[in-house]
Structure 1
Amino acid sequence: MITLAFRSTLFAAALSLAACEEGGPSLVPDAQVEAMGLQEWQQIRANVPASRNAADQQRLTRVTRRLLAAAGESTGDWEWQVFENPQPNAFALPGKRIGVFSGMMRIAETDAQLATVVAHEIGHLQANHGSERVSAQAASQIGLQVLDAALGAGEIAGRDQIGAALGMGVEYGVLLPYSRRNELEADRLGIELMADAGYDPRAALEFWQAMKRASGNRGPEFLATHPAPDNRIAQIEEIIAAQ
């Protein structure tokens, strides 16, 4: 019979697997993560139309090239694209791929504000956040598999509920806060890169104020992968003041 104490031990083990190091666990080889990122990029390119706004693509190219030069990166290794989507969003994928939605281009009105977005995404990739997130997800799945094997099919009443509770604990207790830490680290790296590229870091505050106005109602921060706008703006103010 599986005791309550043993269930608690399994729960704690799953959490420790997903957050075993401050820099994130490394359970999946970087080469495999990069291949996954490139495959995802191809799927996005196939399913989401590229923006036909030539001025937007030219602006993204101008800003991205300037930032990559400041970061000491070869632009030939990177690819970037404006996608036609009204959502104010952007993303970075392992394999040095950056996508910006057309809705984000409307909010980032100046090159310096767009640099806030692109430098943030470059920060994610240079900090290897993609590999960290994949490994954290893999760790959470290991935890669930251990629980499933330990409980055994039909041995305990409420087995499905226990598994669901563990999944909720892993997802909301580790993966999402871990992702928010990634976001804040990318903010710091991005602001430093903006300054190195000759952009005024204070444009980051202008940009995130605009994002706050555009975000409208949000759910609780602990259920979000991104920091709440007020928290993010406060941290960016601290980063800029420390420079």
Structure 2
Amino acid sequence: MNRIFLFFFAICLVACTKNPITGRSQLVLFSEAEIQSMASTQYQQFLSQNKVVTAIGSKDAEMVRRVGTRISTAISSFYTQKGLQGELAGYKWEYNLVDSKEANAWCMPGGKIVVYTGLLPITQNEAALAVVIGHEVAHALARHGNERMSQAMIQELGGVALSVAMSSKPAETQAIFMGAYGLGTTYGAVLPFSRSNELEADKFGLYYCAMAGYNPQEAIPLWERMAAASAGKAPPEFASTHPAESTRIEKLKQLMPEALKYYKPIGVK
């Protein structure tokens, strides 16, 4: 037992890095280049297997790309001002709307974004959609997926190198990747960290939304609508990867004064 503990302690000691934006130390076993390469492959596979709504002739798809472009432009400017433009190395932003009844959105490393049409009746307006996209982009920039995947790889595959895992256990590795980046369900010891990641993404996503010229105050009614849409369906907070809507709304209210400092309206809807 002591050997196992020491093994995992050694891994954590070597692989823990401090995120330059969040300021938090996190377990990151894989390089961004490795993760981005895998993300690009999985993203293209996902798009090929699902119905992508083209921007030509679709106001909704145009809106998704417009919001995504404004947020990624604001982030690029912010990172440059902070002297952290190197953190965006390899990012080739893509924004796609996918026809699905599921109310969901996600962003893979490298800026690979998907919004499902089922989310739009809940967001209802462009600023609320910006809150969601900002949140998902914050997950990618904070390396939450890399962190969650690193935790899962240690638990399930013993912390082997990604290339080794892909060659020896490709199906298991792909499942871990999909779960870590919001395309699957993660349970077990990873769960508590996931809720923490959600609240962290709320914080920085709110800031990114405001930097892009969208009113961050739209986050409050958005999550009230989310709560109404999931009424009677959401699991209790202790059994969910997401914080309860009431917890999330309270935290967002606390963050709002700081978020509004970044907000400069530019004629959004």
Settle same-fold status: TM greater than 0.5. yes
1:225 corresponds to 2:241: yes
Q: What RMSD over aligned residues (CA atoms) do the two structures have, in Å? A: 2.9
Q: Is the 8 A contact 2:150 2:159 kept in 1?
A: no
Taking the aligned partners of 1:176 and 1:51, their CA distance within structure 2 comes to 33
Instruction: Tell me the amino acid that sits aligned with residue 196 of structure 1.
Output: M
Aligned ranges for residues 130-141 of structure 1 at < 5 Å? 130-141=145-156
Cα offset, 1:228, TM superposition: 1.4
Aligned ranges for residues 1-243 of structure 1 at < 5 Å? 6=1, 10=4, 21=16, 23-51=25-53, 54-72=58-76, 77-142=92-157, 171-173=187-189, 175-216=190-231, 217-243=233-259
Cα offset, 1:223, TM superposition: 2.4
Instruction: Tell me the amino acid that sits aligned with residue 26 of structure 1.
Output: V
Instruction: Tell me the amino acid that sits aligned with residue 141 of structure 1.
Output: E
Taking the aligned partners of 1:103 and 1:12, their CA distance within structure 2 comes to 46
How high is the TM-score relative to the length of structure 1? 0.77
Instruction: Tell me the amino acid that sits aligned with residue 186 of structure 1.
Output: A
Cα offset, 1:14, TM superposition: 5.8
Classify 1:144/1:65 alpha carbon distance in 2 versus 1 (closer, same or farther; 3 Å): closer
Cα offset, 1:23, TM superposition: 3.0
Taking the aligned partners of 1:223 and 1:23, their CA distance within structure 2 comes to 25
Taking the aligned partners of 2:158 and 2:236, their CA distance within structure 1 comes to 26
Taking the aligned partners of 2:6 and 2:188, their CA distance within structure 1 comes to 14
Aligned residue number for residue 266 of structure 2 = none
Taking the aligned partners of 2:10 and 2:255, their CA distance within structure 1 comes to 30
Taking the aligned partners of 1:220 and 1:142, their CA distance within structure 2 comes to 30
Cα offset, 1:40, TM superposition: 1.1
The number of aligned residues is: 211
Classify 1:181/1:59 alpha carbon distance in 2 versus 1 (closer, same or farther; 3 Å): same
Taking the aligned partners of 2:48 and 2:154, their CA distance within structure 1 comes to 30
Instruction: Tell me the amino acid that sits aligned with residue 135 of structure 2.
Output: H
Unaligned runs of 5+ in 1: 1-5, 146-169
Cα offset, 1:28, TM superposition: 1.8
Cα offset, 1:222, TM superposition: 2.5
Cα offset, 1:202, TM superposition: 0.7
Taking the aligned partners of 1:188 and 1:203, their CA distance within structure 2 comes to 14
Cα offset, 1:132, TM superposition: 1.4
Unaligned runs of 5+ in 2: 17-23, 78-87, 161-185, 260-269
Task: State the structure with bigger RCO (CA 8 A, min sep 6), 1 or 2.
Answer: 1
Q: Is the 8 A contact 2:109 2:141 kept in 1?
A: no
Deviations 1:134-154 (A, max 9, x none): 211112125599xxxxxxxxx
Larger radius of gyration: 1
Taking the aligned partners of 1:94 and 1:34, their CA distance within structure 2 comes to 5
SS at 2:248's partner residue? helix
How high is the TM-score relative to the length of structure 2? 0.70
Q: Is the 8 A contact 2:135 2:205 kept in 1?
A: yes
Instruction: Tell me the amino acid that sits aligned with residue 96 of structure 1.
Output: G
Cα offset, 1:98, TM superposition: 0.4
Instruction: Tell me the amino acid that sits aligned with residue 72 of structure 2.
Output: L
